[in-house]
Every structure is written in C-alpha cells, then in structure tokens.
Amino acid sequence: MIIRTEQEADYSRSEHVHRLAFSRENEAALVRAIRSSGEYIPELSLTAEDGKNIVGHIMFSKAVIDTGEGEVPTLALAPVAVMPQRQNEGIGSLLIREGLKQAELQGFAHAVVLGHPDYYPRFGFRPSTVFGIFSPFPVPEEVFMVMEFKEGSLTGISGTVKYPPSFDHV
C-alpha cells in the first residue's frame, strides 16, 4: 500500500472511490469543487494505491476560524473515502495519519473535521468546543472536532469555522 500525492491522472479514479464509498455523487462533486477553488492544496490531496488501483483518497483544504475580530487560517479534513470492499483494513487511518503529518510539515497549525466521535479522536482530534471553536452547522458538539499540530496553537483563539464556498452545496 502506497500513500502518495494525488496526480491529475488520478482524478476520475479518486472521485470514483468517493462515489462508491458514499453511494452518492455529493462527495465526488465536493472533491471537484475543492480542486477548482483557491482553497485547494494539491500536496494535501492524497491517494492510497494498492498495485495500480486507487483504493482510498483524502483531501485537506483551507478554511478559517472567524473570531469576530478577524480570521485565523486552519485546515478542513474532508472528504476521506475508502473503497467499500477495502474498508476496515486501516486504509483510512493510513490516509489520515499521512495527511496530518504532511499538513504539519507544511506549517499548518491545526485542522477541523466533522466526523464520527469514536473514530477521529484516535488521531488526536478533540471536540472543538473544548477550544472555544464552533461548527457552522447545526450538529451535535461531539462530531465537530479539532486537532492542534502543536500544543497551544489555539490558545486565545475562539470562534466559528468558515468552510470555503466549495462546501456550500454538499
């Protein structure tokens, strides 16, 4: 299994993974929308490749925390998908760990995710409300989480996350 940066030649196969994993078009459309936006970070769009097959994909894109007095850059982890027949093999975990590692190496301070509260804490995500960070969506507090790459990077920062416009139609 190789985790690598997604290449343009992978686009349709990566989108196919999202389509199958979620049994709908929304996440594949989100991937396309992010790619065509100013919030796209090519180095943080990763694929899991097994042989010549792409079996997983993850993206991180630019987002901000609106503090009411300004905006603090952050990352949004979304979406992540693994082919249905390859789920529960640790591929999603590999993608998330490598993505977080690359994000930190690129100098990002933190990331947010909207996801399962029993899954994402294993990577270091904590409920965002612990930090005074809030979801822009009406979701249960425990499903909106944040991870500091460097402890204390959210000290003194509180506000509501603003996702890029590419997320508006998902």
The reported pLDDT for the residue numbered 29 is 95
- Where do the structural domains in the chain lie, given as residue ranges? 2-165
Q: Look at residue 63 and tell me whether its pLDDT is greater than 80.
A: yes
d(CA 130, CA 151): 13
- What percent of the chain lies above the pLDDT cut of 70? 99
Q: Look at residue 169 and tell me whether its pLDDT is greater than 90.
A: no
What are the residues facing 159 on neighbouring strands? 133
Identify the H or E element spanning 76. strand 71-82
This model's pTM is above 0.75:
yes
Q: Determine the average pLDDT of the residues in 130-134.
A: 97
9-28: pLDDT as tens digits? 999 999 999 999 999 999 99
Q: Look at residue 105 and tell me whether its pLDDT is greater than 80.
A: yes
Angle subtended at Cα 64 by Cα 59 and Cα 68, rounded to the nearest 5 degrees: 165
d(CA 142, CA 102): 25
Highest CATH level, class, for 2-165 = alpha beta
